[in-house]
């Protein structure tokens, strides 16, 4: 895959030109220190090393500038006759051919490798971004699946305990769907089921069993219902009330959180 | 072509201020605004005097003031206000986020702090100096192929619109030199302000952006002071990422980030749960890397 910005791998700003200038000066100083030892041998080597290092760290333009400046300095200071420009002999020609040739080949190779490296880094960043997006989508999918499972569990619960259902209450009626909508079938199929507008607004739907519950207990559980076991009074005979164990369960569905109270089937 | 300012109706307590690119129009963010509105966010995409197309030139300080005024107007109505900008609009959003730390989230799409993408000519830096010469009132920087679009069909359509109207849904055919100069000043200001930006930050950038190279996004990523920072790299788009091949990805990730940012705020207790083990592992890895 072609990434045209791969050619922009080098750092930006004036700092790289400062580094390039410093490298040139250091190369010139080192070659000057070695000059008594080396004489006219390898006049451009220090500048070639400087140009390659600058290419690796700072990019093509500073490297080319170091190479050209290095060629001029090497020819002027380290090729006999030293410190003169007016004489161009075989030594000058050797330097002008060999030094740029070798430096350009090495700098070009380094430039190509750096571009390939930067391209690989960019593509790796894309791959990493996609992987993280995939993980976030997977997380959303799992959350949705969990919510769907919970909804199925609640609907199954309503259908299974239709006859013993006392009430369904939305934990937060402002953000939840009307609980009566889930119990509609159950309520209409049940003799005493109630779904009216006022209860819809309060987030409560009564099941068929509610008519047998003592009025005080019904008001109590309608107001303050928490998950767990409850004991409420059920009508037994004409005017006799007997305590019955009831179970309240909480369901966190995509349509909101609901509490369902039913008479315990065991009793 | 006069582009209308458009806003969606108030849908919940989270509004997004969308700022388009330099000398362009709100049309270039139309798709993103529509998706965000569908996701339940109230969006506002204003024309800013002196910055938008068809308005007289003004200094960048006035752009920032006008954008801050738009932000304040939304902040008076909504609990959360986030900023989203494209190109130089992203830079302008960063300047607003620095002025208004109450911004919930900052979405930077193809943020431009330097015009250094592969399609920018090497002599671009000369324009900074040309501004101080008499040609500044006559020179216009002309947009050329690929017009920020990798999608060739859309590019052909945009080219026709630019020839006909001088502006298209992805920007103007040319930008005046004073506007470019002010944009450079704004970018310089924002580069120095990045550490002072504390809003949650999402950076989306194409690796082959022809106008602003990936260095721009990396610079923001390395220097912004946001505690919640996410960077997304794209490989099938150029500069105009909300209109190009991956516009759906851009819109979806923007909406997701806005939801996560609002959920993670102190006033909200319904943060999105992490149920995927792979995501939990990845978040732990990222936290370890960030801690080092």
Specify the long-range contacts of residues A189-198, CB closer than 8 Å, at least 24 apart.
A189/A162, A190/A162, A190/A163, A190/A165
- Percent helix / strand / coil, chain B, rounded to 5: 45, 15, 40
Same domain, A11 and A114: yes
Omega into A118 within 30° of 0, i.e. cis?
no
Asked which of A129, A145, A180 is the last residue of a domain, the reply is A129
Same domain, A10 and A124: yes
Of A196-200, B98-102, B173-177, B192-196, least confident by mean pLDDT is A196-200
Q: Which residues, in sequence order, are CB contacts of B84 under 8 Å at separation 6+?
A: B16, B17, B18, B19, B29, B32, B36, B93, B106, B107, B109, B254
**pLDDT tens, A249-263?**
998 887 788 899 998
Same domain, A85 and A181: no
Contacts of B273 in chain A (CB under 8 A): 143
> Tokens representing A199?
């209860």
Binary contact (A129, B210; C-beta < 8 A): no
Binary contact (B118, A138; C-beta < 8 A): no
- Distance (Å, rounded) from C-alpha B19 to C-alpha A265? 61
- Distance (Å, rounded) from C-alpha A175 to C-alpha A173? 6
> Tokens representing A233?
């009074």
Has residue A174 been placed in a domain? Answer: yes
Question: Percentage of chain B surpassing pLDDT 90?
Answer: 62
Beta-sheet pairing, B140-142 with B167-168: unpaired
Same domain, A107 and A216: no
Has residue A29 been placed in a domain? Answer: yes
Q: How high is the mean pLDDT of chain B?
A: 88
**pLDDT tens, A89-141?**
888 899 999 999 999 999 999 999 999 999 999 999 999 999 999 999 999 89
- Distance (Å, rounded) from C-alpha B156 to C-alpha B203? 28
Q: What is the pTM of this model?
A: 0.83
- Distance (Å, rounded) from C-alpha A234 to C-alpha A237? 10
Q: For residues A259 and A171, is the Cβ–Cβ distance under 8 A?
A: yes
> Tokens representing A163?
């006859």
Beta-sheet pairing, B6-7 with A240-253: unpaired
**pLDDT tens, A144-193?**
888 889 888 888 888 888 888 888 888 877 666 666 666 554 455 455 55
Return the pLDDT at A264: 82
Q: How many helices (H) and strands (E) does chain A have?
A: 7, 5
Domains, chain B, in order of start with CATH, read 6-291 (3.40.50.1820)
Same domain, A107 and A176: no
Return the pLDDT at B2: 47
Nearest one of B246, B245, B235, B211 to B90, comparing CA atoms: B211
A148 touches B at CB < 8 Å: no
Binary contact (A3, B282; C-beta < 8 A): no
Has residue A148 been placed in a domain? Answer: no
**pLDDT tens, B49-64?**
999 988 888 899 999 9
Angle between helix axes B177-193 and B88-99 (nearest 10 degrees) is 50
Return the pLDDT at A171: 82
Question: Rg (Cα) of chain A, in Å, rounded?
Answer: 43
Asked which of A77, A105, A129 is the last residue of a domain, the reply is A129
Q: What is the DSSP string of B211-271?
A: SS-HHHHHHHHHH---SSEEEEEESS--S-TTTSTTHHHHHHHHHHHHHHHHHTSTT---P
Asked which of A129, A152, A184 is the last residue of a domain, the reply is A129
Has residue A36 been placed in a domain? Answer: yes
Q: For residues B272 and B178, is the Cβ–Cβ distance under 8 A?
A: no
**Higher-pLDDT residue of A26, B278:** A26
- Distance (Å, rounded) from C-alpha B163 to C-alpha B168? 9
Q: Which residues, in sequence order, are CB contacts of B2 under 8 Å at separation 6+?
A: B54
B146 touches A at CB < 8 Å: no
Return the pLDDT at B176: 85
Same domain, A40 and A100: yes
Same domain, A66 and A182: no
Range B78-98 average pLDDT: 96
Contacts of B249 in chain A (CB under 8 A): 133
**B11 pLDDT more than 60:** no
Q: What are phi and psi of B204, to 5 degrees?
A: -125, 125
Same domain, A167 and A125: no
Same domain, A80 and A172: no
**Local structure of B187: helix, strand or coil:** helix
Has residue A15 been placed in a domain? Answer: yes
Residues 223-262 of B with CB under 8 A from A: 231-235, 249, 253, 256
Q: How high is the mean pLDDT of chain A?
A: 87
Same domain, A193 and A81: no
Most B CBs within 10 A among A132, A172, A254, hence the mutation to make, goes to A132
Q: Which domain holds residue A206?
A: 163-263
Most A CBs within 10 A among B112, B207, B223, hence the mutation to make, goes to B207
**B100 pLDDT more than 90:** yes
Nearest one of B126, B139, B92 to B111, comparing CA atoms: B92
Has residue A155 been placed in a domain? Answer: no
Same domain, A49 and A125: yes
Return the pLDDT at B9: 46
- Distance (Å, rounded) from C-alpha A30 to C-alpha A24? 10
Range B129-136 average pLDDT: 84
Of A149-153, B217-221, B234-238, least confident by mean pLDDT is A149-153
- Distance (Å, rounded) from C-alpha A241 to C-alpha A236? 5
Return the pLDDT at B266: 54
Number of domains in chain A: 2
Has residue A187 been placed in a domain? Answer: yes
Nearest CA in chain B to A144: B275
Has residue A151 been placed in a domain? Answer: no
Same domain, A188 and A124: no
Binary contact (B278, A122; C-beta < 8 A): no
Contacts of B215 in chain A (CB under 8 A): 8, 11-12
**Considering all CA atoms of chain A, what is the largest pairwise distance in Å, rounded to the nearest integer?**
131
Binary contact (B274, A132; C-beta < 8 A): no
Return the pLDDT at B137: 78
């Amino acid at each position: 895959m072609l990434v045209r910005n791969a050619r922009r791998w080098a750092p930006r700003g004036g700092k790289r030109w400062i580094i390039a200038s410093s490298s040139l000066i250091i190369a010139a100083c080192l070659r000057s220190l070695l000059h008594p030892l080396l004489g006219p041998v390898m006049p451009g080597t220090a500048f070639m090393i400087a140009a390659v290092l600058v290419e690796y760290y700072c990019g093509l333009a500073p490297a080319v500038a170091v190479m050209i400046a290095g060629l001029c300095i090497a020819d002027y200071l380290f090729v006999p006759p030293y410190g003169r420009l007016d004489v161009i002999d075989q030594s000058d020609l050797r330097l002008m051919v060999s030094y740029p040739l070798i430096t350009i080949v090495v700098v070009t190779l380094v430039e190509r490798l750096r571009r390939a490296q930067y391209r690989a880094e960019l593509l790796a960043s894309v791959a990493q971004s996609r992987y993280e997006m995939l993980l976030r989508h997977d997380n959303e999918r799992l959350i949705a699946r969990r919510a769907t499972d919970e909804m199925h569990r609640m609907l199954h619960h309503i259908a299974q305990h239709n006859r013993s259902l006392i009430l369904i209450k939305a934990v937060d009626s402002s953000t939840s769907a009307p609980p009566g909508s889930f119990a509609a079938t159950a309520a209409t199929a049940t003799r005493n089921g109630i779904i009216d507008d006022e209860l819809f607004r309060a987030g409560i739907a009564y099941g068929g069993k509610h008519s047998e519950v003592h009025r005080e207990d019904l008001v109590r559980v309608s107001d303050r219902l928490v998950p767990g076991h409850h004991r409420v009074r059920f009508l037994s005979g004409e005017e006799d009330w007997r305590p019955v164990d009831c179970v309240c369960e909480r369901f966190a569905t995509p349509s909101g959180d609901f509490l369902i109270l039913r008479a315990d089937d065991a009793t | 072509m006069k582009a209308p300012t458009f806003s969606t109706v108030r849908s919940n307590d989270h509004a997004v201020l969308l700022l388009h690119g330099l000398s362009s129009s709100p049309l270039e963010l139309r798709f993103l605004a529509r998706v965000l509105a569908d996701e339940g966010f109230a969006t506002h995409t204003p024309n800013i005097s002196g910055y938008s197309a068809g308005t007289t030139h003004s200094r960048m300080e006035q752009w920032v003031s006008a954008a801050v005024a738009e932000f304040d107007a939304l902040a008076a109505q909504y609990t959360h206000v986030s900023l989203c900008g494209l190109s130089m609009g992203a830079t302008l959003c960063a300047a607003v986020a620095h002025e208004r730390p109450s911004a919930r989230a900052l979405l930077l799409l193809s943020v431009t702090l330097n015009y250094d993408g592969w399609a920018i000519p090497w002599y671009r830096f000369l324009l900074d100096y040309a501004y101080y010469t008499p040609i500044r009132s006559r020179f216009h920087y002309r947009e050329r192929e690929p017009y920020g679009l990798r999608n060739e069909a859309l590019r052909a359509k945009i080219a026709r619109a630019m020839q006909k109207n001088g502006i298209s849904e992805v920007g103007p055919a040319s930008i005046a030199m004073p506007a470019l100069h002010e944009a450079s000043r704004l970018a310089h200001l924002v580069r120095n302000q990045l550490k002072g930006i504390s809003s949650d930050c999402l950076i989306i950038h194409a690796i082959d952006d022809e106008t602003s190279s990936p260095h721009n996004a990396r610079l923001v990523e390395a220097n912004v002071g946001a505690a919640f920072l996410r960077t997304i790299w794209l490989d099938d788009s150029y500069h105009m990422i909300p209109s190009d091949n991956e516009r759906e990805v851009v819109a979806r990730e923007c909406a997701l980030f806005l939801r996560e940012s609002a959920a993670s705020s102190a006033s909200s207790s319904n943060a999105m749960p992490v149920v995927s083990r792979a995501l939990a592992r990845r978040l732990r890895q990222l936290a370890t890397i960030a801690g080092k």
